[in-house]
Amino acid sequence: QKEVEQNSGPLSVPEGAIASLNCTYSDRGSQSFFWYRQYSGKSPELIMSIYSNGDKEDGRFTAQLNKASQYVSLLIRDSQPSDSATYLCAVIGDTGGFKTIFGAGTRLFVKA
Amino acid sequence: KAGVTQTPRYLIKTRGQQVTLSCSPISGHRSVSWYQQTPGQGLQFLFEYFSETQRNKGNFPGRFSGRQFSNSRSEMNVSTLELGDSALYLCASSWTSGGTGELFFGEGSRLTVL
C-alpha cells in the first residue's frame, strides 16, 4: 500500500464547476496535510495546508480533513481553465522520521 | 526575496558516470529536502538536511548521497548512473526540519541518462 494515494485522473470538469480531488494516507499518526499545485513543466507550489479535522477555506479552495477515515480532499469552486494542473496531496508522517510524503498527483483539466 | 535555486537545470550523462546537483535554499531556510520526480512514481523523497545534518532518508540505494554546507546550500550526488535515474530532481527548502511546514521548491534539475 502506498503511503499517500490519489486517483491519477485525469479529472475533467467544465469551467465554473466544482472540482473534487481526493487523497488517502496510511500513517494514522500523520498530523500535517498539504495540497500542492504543479503546472506542466513547473515545480510544485503550496496552495492549502490543513492540520485539524473539518474544513478550511481559502478563496475558491476548500480543504477537508477526516483523520478517522485517513482522508483529505480539495474542492475547487468555480473552476477556471487556469486551474488545469496536477494537484499533489502531501502528508507529514512520523513513521521512520518526519518527512513530507507526496501522492502521485491528480491531473485536472478545466474545459472552457 | 530570491527563491530556491537549482543548478544545473538540464544535464545529460551516460551510464556509469556520476553527477552532482546543487541547491541554494531561500535565505534563512535551514532545511533542504531532495525529491526525485518521474512520470510513473511521482515525487519520491530522497533525503533531508537540516543544519548540515541528514535528518531523514528515503528508500534509495547508497548511490544517492547528499550533503549540506554551513551556508545551508546543499548538493546531491548520484554515482554509477543507471538509465532509471533519468528524472527531474527537485530541491525544496523550509524554515523547519522534518518538512513540518511549507516546502518551497526550486525549478529542478532534469537529468537524462543515456
Using one digit for the tens of pLDDT, what is the confidence trace for B31-64?
A: 999 999 998 788 999 999 999 999 889 999 999 9
pLDDT of A82 strictly over 80: yes
A-B interface: how many C-beta pairs under 8 angstroms? 55
* Residue A95 pLDDT exceeds 90: no
Supply the pLDDT for residue B65.
97
Reported confidence tier of residue A91, pLDDT bands at 50, 70, 90: very high
A96, closest residue in chain B (CA to CA): B56
C-alpha–C-alpha distance, residues B74 and B89, integer Å:
13
pLDDT of B41: 81
Determine phi and psi for A79, rounding to 5 degrees. Answer: -55, 140
Half-sphere exposure of A26 (CA within 13 A, CB side): 10
Q: In terms of CA atoms, which chain A residue is nearest residue B5?
A: A43
What pLDDT does B37 receive? Answer: 96
Query: How many angstroms separate the CA atoms of B76 and B89, rounded?
Result: 10
Q: What mean pLDDT is predicted for residues B71-94?
A: 96
- Asked if the model's pLDDT at residue B28 lies above 70, the reply is yes
**For residue range A1-60, what is the model confidence (pLDDT) as tens digits?**
678 999 888 999 999 999 999 999 998 888 899 999 999 999 999 999 999 999 999 999
A100 contacts on B by Cβ (under 8 Å): 33, 45, 99, 103
> What is the reported pLDDT for A96?
64
Pick from A43, A97, A103: CB nearest B107: A43
Neighbouring CB atoms inside 10 A of A2's CB total: 13
Residue of chain B whose Cα is closest to the Cα of A44: B105
**Mutate which of A49, A58, A100, A107 to disrupt the B interface (most B C-beta within 10 Å)?**
A100
- Report the alpha-carbon distance of residue B15 to residue B83 in Å, rounded: 6
Say how far apart CA B23 and CA B107 lie, in whole Å: 10
pLDDT grade, residue B1 (50/70/90)? low
Closest Cα in chain A, distance from residue B73 (Å):
19
* Residue B25 preceded by cis peptide, ω within 30: no
Non-local CB neighbours of B59 within 8 Å, separated by 6+ positions: none
Q: Residue A28: phi, psi to the nearest 5?
A: -65, -20
- Please report, as a single letter, which amino acid is at residue B45: F
Query: Do B48 and A44 count as a contact with CB atoms less than 8 A apart?
Result: no
Mutate to test the interface with A, among B102, B104, B107, B110 (most CBs of A within 10 A): B102
Out of B43, B48, B56, closest to residue A102 by CB? B43
How do strand B10-13 and strand B109-113 relate by DSSP bridges? parallel
B33 in contact with chain A, both atoms CB, cutoff 8 A: yes
Reading the block at residue A4, the C-alpha cell is 499517500
CB–CB of A99 and B45 under 8 A? yes
The secondary structure of B84-113 as a DSSP string is: GG-EEEEEEEESSGGG-S--EE---EEEEE
Q: Does B56 reach chain A within 8 Å, measured CB to CB?
A: yes
CB contact under 8 A, B42 and A101: no
